[in-house]
Structure 1
Amino acid sequence: MTNLPSPPELTTYPTHPPGAATALGSTLVLIPHPDDESLGCGGLLALLRQANLPVWCVLVSDGTMSHPNSQKFSASARQHLREEELRAALRELAVPTADLQTLKLPDGAVPTPKEAAGVAAVEKLVAILQQYQPDSVLVPWRRDPHPDHRATSALALAALAHLTHPPRMVEYVVWAWERASPTDLPQPGEVQGWQLDISPVLRQKQRAIACHRSQLPGSPIDDDPAGFTLGPSMLAHFSQPTEVFLEASGG
């Protein structure tokens, strides 16, 4: 295991064995952008599927803004490419793709529940939750340092508030590993955190991450010099044999 400079708030939680994943039961994961599922909770998803538990996915944004200046790949082509990469990653994790739901909200401007588009998105999420009735919902950490991640968390909370018997909500971490300010991180007494040992499925997770080729060095979208790719230091956080999860204290 590589020692990485990480926020201590995220590295001191107790580690649970791989089998602890089954406590989540059937699970629905909200994905702000294609790749967040593999980075933040790919190991957990693979362990859930190893236990034959249902996993459903909702892609929130259209994923078009990582390379907005590309001429080779139009916005619609980028959207298609990234959805195909997501489907390939989910197959690596043994997650069925037939039921993948896509909200197609604007990448970089996912609305909050206070906006009209956000209200409509909440209504869609409520319908999806009622359709599948998962035992648990995976959502990005509420203050993960990306506006789309925070908006996705807010949409999830608003949708869950409409349910008489809401599922367990578990938050996963993506950008807080590298970009978090002290106030972005969990505060004392705010959450109960835990780490999950994903070592039996770490190779699966790595293969799933590798499916997101457009977001990695050597991206096929090669005509936007200002385009985004995940850097080596960021990727290193997701080569670890554990994943971190957070739950509201008392929840």
Structure 2
Amino acid sequence: MLPFNSYPMRPGSFAATLGPTVVIAPHPDDEALGCGGLLALLRQQGVPVAAVLVSDGSMSHSNSLLFSAQARRAVRETEFCHALTLLGLDATEPLLLGLPDGRVPSSTTEPGFAAAATQLQEFLEQHAAATVLVPWRRDPHPDHRATSQLVAVALAAMDKPPRRLEYVVWAWERAAPDDLPTAADGVQGFRLNIEAGLRQKQRAIAAHRSQVAPGVFTDDADGFLLSEEMLAHFATPYEVFFEAVAP
């Protein structure tokens, strides 16, 4: 059984302590699923927030003939920007890295990794990020893990790297024992009360129409859709995060 429900709860006012924040999403919808409630709270409390989208999001309905890969990318980036607006992030253009969905590079030896890490570092510095929100390092999706590696390299290159909070998405459904935190990770888990931002979070999730209901990419019956069981994890009034503990 996952330990998430036993983690200590922090109040929604915790958001105000994070300072200027950048959320990094591997795919359009991860920002709403994993930390949409926190994003809403940050904006409610007047904290600046900017966003980064790592992949092009084009592979969820890869068999579509009506929508080319470029058209699928455009749909999903539009959904991403709409969801951000619903969460209150309407002042800053997101950084769209456009890396290949399903094949986000995970090491400096892979094409595109170094350039993306540099772009990410520059974006964090440009926005004077005090906190970065990133997928849990072993969230069980290769693009989520690759995103974690990109962020790690970007932070390592900064003189004053921001605080790092790691959120969970696929760990709710797919986590194996080895995917969960261990003492060697040096992190502590906590739940954040997002009751005041839950309605906005649900609206932001729904804004990703191509991922929650059929009717956008209509000619790919086998295309990806979030299941009701998966969505139920993100309808609760709290979100789960991991943060490094002091040595």
Under TM normalisation by the shorter chain, which class is it? over 0.9
TM-score relative to the length of structure 2: 0.96
Give the conservation status (yes or no) of the 8 Å contact 1:217–1:231.
no
Give the conservation status (yes or no) of the 8 Å contact 1:27–1:135.
yes
1:56 aligns with 2:50: yes
In the other structure, the counterpart of 1:161 is: 156
Once the two structures are superposed, what CA deviation does each residue of 1:114-159 show, in whole Å capped at 9, x if it has no partner? 2231111111111112211111000000000000000000000000
Amino acid at match of 1:14: P
1:241 aligns with 2:240: no
Once the two structures are superposed, what CA deviation does each residue of 1:76-108 show, in whole Å capped at 9, x if it has no partner? 111110011111111111112642110000000
- Distance (Å, rounded) in 2 between the aligned partners of 1:202 and 1:126: 30
Amino acid at match of 1:232: E
In the other structure, the counterpart of 1:124 is: 119
In the other structure, the counterpart of 1:199 is: 195
Structure 1 residue 189 displacement after superposition:
5.8
Once the two structures are superposed, what CA deviation does each residue of 1:132-188 show, in whole Å capped at 9, x if it has no partner? 111100000000000000000000000000011100000000000001100001114
In the other structure, the counterpart of 2:228 is: 232
- Distance (Å, rounded) in 1 between the aligned partners of 2:77 and 2:38: 21
- Distance (Å, rounded) in 1 between the aligned partners of 2:24 and 2:212: 22
Give the conservation status (yes or no) of the 8 Å contact 1:113–1:122.
no
Length, aligned pairs only: 245
In the other structure, the counterpart of 2:176 is: 181
Give the conservation status (yes or no) of the 8 Å contact 1:90–1:97.
no
- Distance (Å, rounded) in 2 between the aligned partners of 1:97 and 1:221: 29
1:134 aligns with 2:134: no
Which runs of at least 4 in structure 1 moved beyond 4 Å after TM superposition? Answer: none
* 5+ residue gaps, structure 2: none
Q: Check 1:185–1:219 CA distance in 2 against 1; reply closer, same or farther (3 A cut).
A: farther
Match of residue 22, structure 2, among 18, 28, 43: 28
In the other structure, the counterpart of 1:41 is: 35
Give me the CA root mean square deviation.
1.2
Give the conservation status (yes or no) of the 8 Å contact 1:9–1:186.
no
In the other structure, the counterpart of 1:3 is: none
* 5+ residue gaps, structure 1: 1-6
Amino acid at match of 2:152: L
Classify the secondary structure of the residue corresponding to 1:164: coil
Give the conservation status (yes or no) of the 8 Å contact 2:20–2:127.
no
Give the conservation status (yes or no) of the 8 Å contact 1:126–1:162.
yes
TM-score relative to the length of structure 1: 0.94
Give the conservation status (yes or no) of the 8 Å contact 2:135–2:148.
yes
Classify the secondary structure of the residue corresponding to 2:138: coil
Give the conservation status (yes or no) of the 8 Å contact 1:34–1:82.
yes
- Distance (Å, rounded) in 1 between the aligned partners of 2:69 and 2:44: 36
Once the two structures are superposed, what CA deviation does each residue of 1:12-37 show, in whole Å capped at 9, x if it has no partner? 11101111111111100111000000
Q: Larger deviation: 45-54 or 11-20?
A: 11-20
- Distance (Å, rounded) in 2 between the aligned partners of 1:121 and 1:205: 28
Classify the secondary structure of the residue corresponding to 2:6: coil
- Distance (Å, rounded) in 2 between the aligned partners of 1:152 and 1:9: 24
- Distance (Å, rounded) in 2 between the aligned partners of 1:193 and 1:23: 17
- Distance (Å, rounded) in 1 between the aligned partners of 2:26 and 2:7: 25
- Distance (Å, rounded) in 2 between the aligned partners of 1:105 and 1:118: 9
In the other structure, the counterpart of 2:9 is: 15
